[in-house]
Amino acid sequence: MQINLSNLGKRYNYEWIFRNLTYTFESGTSYAILGHNGSGKSTLLTVISGHNLHSEGEINYKTGGKDIPVEKIYSSLSLTAPYLELVEEFSLLEMIGFHTRFKPLRQNLTALELIDRMGLQKSKHKFVKDFSSGMKQRLKLGLAIYSQSELLLLDEPTTNLDQEGVAWYQEHVAQNRSNRLIIVGSNILHEYSFCDQHLRISDYHVVPTAKRKL
């Protein structure tokens, strides 16, 4: 997969979050979008995912040399982010079953095999609403990392994870990098230490014009 951004910009009301962003993401490479909290990392990821419309410029997706319409890109990506919610009324097995109706798992994994890889064997019949925040995050990551998708978007991926959970994330994302385009939005080194390329969103901020003195 290849994603081309050309003079891309996004604003809310009169405030530009980023502007004049030209960049190419290519499969087989992992990228980190870096910046302080509130700098626009999550906004850029939602634009790339097609969940958020850009304000100017162009974004194009290609796979196998063929263009992918933005309204179809969802079928080629998996995404995890703190603001995404799980269906808490489902048990863990039901949640995975629901997810895989729309997005099959990599390596032909079964639901039980995925549960084993997530280290949640004792919770397969437990309702998601009764999970701890760390268990919910591990579930979000497991569904995203192990979905059959060419594009993996990870926004603040270790939110709510303890040291053991961070090590789990690093291990499993490393095992599932091949033949994928991975983009991580983060300002924490252990979340993006494996990334080959870095894009600093602050390089595309608009500097306000100083007001003219009367």
Spell out the SS3 assignment of 52-77.
CCCCEEEEEEEECCEEECHHHHHHHE
Asked if residue 209 belongs to a domain, the reply is no
Asked if residue 57 belongs to a domain, the reply is yes
Asked if residue 116 belongs to a domain, the reply is yes
Give the β-pairing of 77-80 and 30-34: unpaired
Residues 6+ apart with CB under 8 A from 176: 106, 145, 146, 152
**Does residue 34 contact residue 184 with C-beta atoms inside 8 Å?**
no
Which residues on adjacent β-strands are paired with residue 189? Answer: none
Asked if residue 77 belongs to a domain, the reply is yes
> What is the residue range of 21's domain?
2-204
One pLDDT digit (tens) per residue for the chain, 214 residues: 999 999 999 999 989 999 999 999 999 999 999 999 999 999 999 999 999 999 999 999 999 889 999 999 999 999 999 989 999 999 999 999 999 999 999 999 999 999 999 999 999 999 999 999 999 999 999 999 999 999 999 999 999 999 999 999 999 999 999 889 999 999 999 999 999 999 999 999 986 655 444 4
Domain containing residue 103: CATH number: 3.40.50.300
Asked if residue 46 belongs to a domain, the reply is yes
| Report field, pTM of the whole predicted structure over 0.85 | yes
Residue type, 204: Y
Please count the structural domains in the chain: 1
**Does residue 125 contact residue 92 with C-beta atoms inside 8 Å?**
yes
3-state secondary structure 126-182: CEHHHCCHHHHHHHHHHHHHCECCCEEEEECCCCCCCHHHHHHHHHHHHHCCCCCEE
Tokens of 3: 């994603």
Asked if residue 76 belongs to a domain, the reply is yes
